[in-house]
Structure formats: C-alpha cells, structure tokens
Amino acid sequence: ADAMQGANNSNDPNADNSPQDNQPPDNSKAIEDLRRWRTKSNKRGKLAPFESDWIPVAIMEDVKAHGDNGWRDALDDVIVSYTGEDLEPVPVPVADTTELVAALKAATEALLREPAPSTD
C-alpha cells in the first residue's frame, strides 16, 4: 500500500502538479500583447491590425467593434481590467480643424441665406 501511495508523487511526469488554491490565471502575455497593440495603433493613429495567441478572440472582436473613435478607450479599459491599474489618459494630438470649421460655417450661412422654396 505504501508503494502505491508514492506512485502519485512528483516522480510521475504525467501527474498534475498544478496548485489547486484558486490562483488567478497568469495574464501577463495577454497584457504584453494588449500594450503592443495599443502602441502600434497609437503610432498609426488608428486601430492597427494585430494577431495574438494570448488575447482572447472575444476581447479582440470587442475592441475592433468600437471602431475608429473608440478603440483607444476600449484597449485601455481591457488593460485596466487585467492589471487593475488605472492610467492617466494620454493626450492625443488633434489635427487642425480650421478648414473644417470654415467649411461648416460657410455651409450654415448659405443655408440661412437661401430663400424658402416657392409653393406655386
């Protein structure tokens, strides 16, 4: 009986020696990839294509679903959910909008000057 007890010790290469005390999964590889994806996307100014064996597909799809305007916040939120670290927002340069404002102003003024259509 004593010989049988020793059969399940660490000498067995097929034995499951993993701790059973409800340790949280090690997400360090996913966090590294999420940070790489964020850095790559920040450099491009838009969500960059990215492949990862560590980021769950559902999370990648969720980030992609946020589109052009929400991907940065989505990636930051996922990283915070993994790490618990709440980072200060990073200021992002905004393109010059002078031409856009001028075009909107001109269009608005043109609409306001336009006479109402005749009901003849």
Angle 70-73-79 (CA atoms, 0-180°, nearest 5)? 135
pTM score, whole prediction:
0.52
Q: Where are the domains of the chain?
A: 25-84
CA–CA separation, 84 and 47 (whole Å): 23
**What is the predicted pLDDT for the residue at 27?**
86
CA–CA separation, 37 and 49 (whole Å): 8
**What is the predicted pLDDT for the residue at 6?**
45
Render each residue's pLDDT in the chain as its tens digit; 120 residues.
Answer: 444 444 444 455 555 555 455 655 678 899 999 999 999 999 999 999 999 999 999 999 999 999 888 998 999 899 998 888 776 666 777 788 899 899 999 999 999 987 766 676
Largest Cα span, the chain: 107
**What is the predicted pLDDT for the residue at 7?**
46
Residues 6+ apart with CB under 8 A from 83: 31
